[in-house]
Structure 1
Amino acid sequence: MAPLYFHLPGNWLEKPSEMLPFYQKLTAGLADRAEVRLVEMSRDGLAERITGTPGVHILNHGRIEHPRSLNAGIAYVYPFWHLDPLGIRAFSSIGAVRFRAGEVDGEAAQVFFQRLKGRMVGGRISRYEQPPEREVLPKAGAAIFLQSEGHRVVGETLYLDRWTMVRAVLEAVQTPVLVKPHPRDFDPETGAKLEKLMAEFRHLSVTTANIHDVLQATERVVTINSAVGIEAYLYRKPLILCGKADFHHIADVVQTPQALQDALHKEVSGRPYAKYIHWYFGQQCLNAGAADLVDRAWARIAPLFLQ
């Protein structure tokens, strides 16, 4: 059998103890099923090198479609991972898979949902560090979670830019609207634009509160494709996406300001949040903490050796 290559950051190869548990478990657990080789990730010409190098290739934070490679990365919420033929997050193949709620076990879904909700909501944790203080916010008709279009992935996947999105919401919703800037957006221009909008729209409030306080206060969530959309599902809050996402199946996806405004006034009920969370994380992703991690990963890897 040809080798199984893991393309990883160089510092992990120098200090294996720094390697994330997902890779530690896979490289050790698959050693008796394949010849595991660790190589430093170099993205330049990677697709061509894969073609010229027999074997299967696992690409950390990859976005390459090749019959002998899979892309790996954390799927928004740890310990869940993508191991995907197309990419990770917005670019993963999950977005093209049909979600059939009727085929998901309801009882198992509720157990899974409540366990994840208890950890995330009960622990007030999120993908990015959040303020520990609890803040009581005004009840809002919508909460908008911003991202930076300077981030390559956001710029490639948006249907509406953030300012068009914000203005469309403010014009359509007359009750309070909350806007939370991205915690890693330190661009003073973002703050300046938000100040101008607050002067124009008196019902706009900009907040840096903990995501969980914002989600608790709002009726709906609007974002391009932020991971907060997944967290909104844990609160059973209707989600409107203004960009490409692989968790779009029970959200409203809009591509124009008018479609966004229509979605804001749409009656929403009966969305199968628990079944979806179980389907997305439990069935489509891999759990790095699960006893069956190696077996489930191998089920995806093994067929690629036949290509």
Structure 2
Amino acid sequence: MLEIRPEDWLTRRRLEDSGPMLVFHARDKLATGLARGSFRLLGALADHAVAAGWAAEIVPYARETVDLAVAQGGHLHVVLEDRPVYAPNVFHAVPGYLRGWWYFDELATRNNSSNRLRQFDPRLVAGKFAEGFHARLAEQFIPENFSKFEQLPRGQLSVPPGCLALFAQDFKTPRWHSHYLSVPELIQAAILARGDRPLCIKPHPNNAPEELEWIARQNAPERGVHVTDASIHDLLAACDCALTVTSAVGFEAFLHRKPVVLAGQTDFAQNAITLTDRRRLPEAMAAAMARDWPHEKFVTWFLRQNCVEDHPRALPAVLACIRAKGIRIGADEGFY
């Protein structure tokens, strides 16, 4: 079982004097989960390192500690945090958009991950395999009403068919993110652009009380605007188009085969329309709904080629990433 070290445990002297170490940098919740063995892939990586004679440690995340690790240049550091940092001895690992899939990226996570730089070509993804993979994921998440946050039971609140489904998030742009429209700007633009379609706006569990109050004031059923806490999966099943700034719901919409309009920087924009000018939302929605999106192939490509499954069977893929940085942990088929 991994131990969470004190905040002042990792020092330059320790980095200089210690044998090879695998060091996980994580905040409280992720550190505790890792120490308990809740993350199977990272646990398998730690076991592999220990079996090879390395030490495996967890230290509380702090920017200064990561900077120290980067400056020292040795060992292998896995940072469970969104702050972008590139270094020859650093990887980034956080849970992805669908539970059970993680980032293991040498640049960053989510919107700043290396996925954003990759070109998606659906011709290079096997169609039958993608259909089966997508179907298994859809079966895992949709009938079970499964999402990153707890949802109301399916069918508890009615959702008008053919609606626009807008998913709110924090009004303040998170650090390390880029939003082209604020959440209120997107909502206001959608109210003006909805045409004959009902607009359903779902608040986010993390919205502050004043943000929830602002969203609630937009509720006007007589004008076709509905603020609702209906299940994400009811909204996605009923909508003609999903709208969000950068929420993970944009990715979940691909499980429902729904077109998506984003209003911020993401690493899954290859399969959506990105809006930067709120006056052009009608055009963006029309473009999104007019296209036959390769959702099955995109989800397969994104998860299987750019993320890792939280399972020990994904360890070879992680070791291949580590090997590509020139780091060898024990016996490895890539070295002779």
Residue 80 (structure 1) aligns with: 101
Matched, 1:169 2:190: yes
SS at match of 1:249: helix
Deviation at 1:197, TM superposition (A): 2.6
* Structure 1 Cα separation of the partners of residues 132 and 48 of structure 2: 28
Greater Cα shift, 11-20 or 76-85: 11-20
- Quick one: structure 1 residues 15 and 27, their matched pair in 2 at CA, closer, same or farther if it must change by over 3 Å? closer
Please give the per-residue CA displacement for 1:101-146, whole angstroms capped at 9, x wherever unaligned.
1111111111110010000112110011111242331124311000
Structure 1 runs not aligned, ≥5 long: none
- Mapping of residues 154-165 of structure 1, within 5 Å: 156-165=177-186
Greater Cα shift, 192-201 or 130-139: 192-201
Residue 299 (structure 1) aligns with: 320
* Structure 2 Cα separation of the partners of residues 128 and 137 of structure 1: 19
CA contact 1:10–1:40 (8 Å) conserved in 2: no
CA contact 2:23–2:59 (8 Å) conserved in 1: no
SS at match of 2:324: helix
Matched, 1:26 2:45: yes
CA contact 1:4–1:34 (8 Å) conserved in 2: no
Residue 54 (structure 1) aligns with: 74
* Structure 1 Cα separation of the partners of residues 28 and 166 of structure 2: 37
One-letter amino acid of the counterpart of residue 145, structure 1: F
Please give the per-residue CA displacement for 1:63-114, whole angstroms capped at 9, x wherever unaligned.
3221221100011112111011121111211011111111111111111100
SS at match of 1:128: coil
Aligned sequence identity (%): 25
TM-score normalised per structure 1: 0.90
* Structure 2 Cα separation of the partners of residues 218 and 18 of structure 1: 39
Structure 2 runs not aligned, ≥5 long: 1-18, 329-336
Matched, 1:287 2:309: yes
Matched, 1:129 2:147: no
- Quick one: structure 1 residues 228 and 30, their matched pair in 2 at CA, closer, same or farther if it must change by over 3 Å? same
- Mapping of residues 135-154 of structure 1, within 5 Å: 135-150=157-172, 152-153=174-175
CA contact 1:55–1:305 (8 Å) conserved in 2: no
Please give the per-residue CA displacement for 1:221-252, whole angstroms capped at 9, x wherever unaligned.
00001000111111111000000111110100
One-letter amino acid of the counterpart of residue 61, structure 2: S
SS at match of 2:218: helix
- Quick one: structure 1 residues 176 and 284, their matched pair in 2 at CA, closer, same or farther if it must change by over 3 Å? same
Deviation at 1:260, TM superposition (A): 2.0
* Structure 2 Cα separation of the partners of residues 108 and 77 of structure 1: 19
| Two-structure CA RMSD over aligned residues (Å) | 2.4
CA contact 1:71–1:84 (8 Å) conserved in 2: yes
One-letter amino acid of the counterpart of residue 43, structure 1: A
Deviation at 1:33, TM superposition (A): 4.4
Please give the per-residue CA displacement for 1:262-305, whole angstroms capped at 9, x wherever unaligned.
112234232110000000011111011262x1111100112324
One-letter amino acid of the counterpart of residue 60, structure 1: L
Residue 112 (structure 1) aligns with: 133
CA contact 2:50–2:56 (8 Å) conserved in 1: no
Residue 6 (structure 2) aligns with: none
**Higher normalized contact order (CA 8 Å, seq sep 6+, divided by chain length):** 1
CA contact 2:171–2:207 (8 Å) conserved in 1: no
Matched, 1:103 2:121: no
TM-score normalised per structure 2: 0.83
* Structure 2 Cα separation of the partners of residues 258 and 41 of structure 1: 44
CA contact 2:154–2:234 (8 Å) conserved in 1: no
Residue 35 (structure 2) aligns with: 16
Greater Cα shift, 55-64 or 234-243: 55-64
Residue 92 (structure 2) aligns with: 71
Residue 217 (structure 1) aligns with: 238
Please give the per-residue CA displacement for 1:3-52, whole angstroms capped at 9, x wherever unaligned.
33222446847993255223222211343446242131332322233221
- Aligned pair count reads 304
- Quick one: structure 1 residues 8 and 196, their matched pair in 2 at CA, closer, same or farther if it must change by over 3 Å? closer
Greater Cα shift, 178-187 or 32-41: 32-41
* Structure 1 Cα separation of the partners of residues 286 and 217 of structure 2: 26
SS at match of 1:152: coil
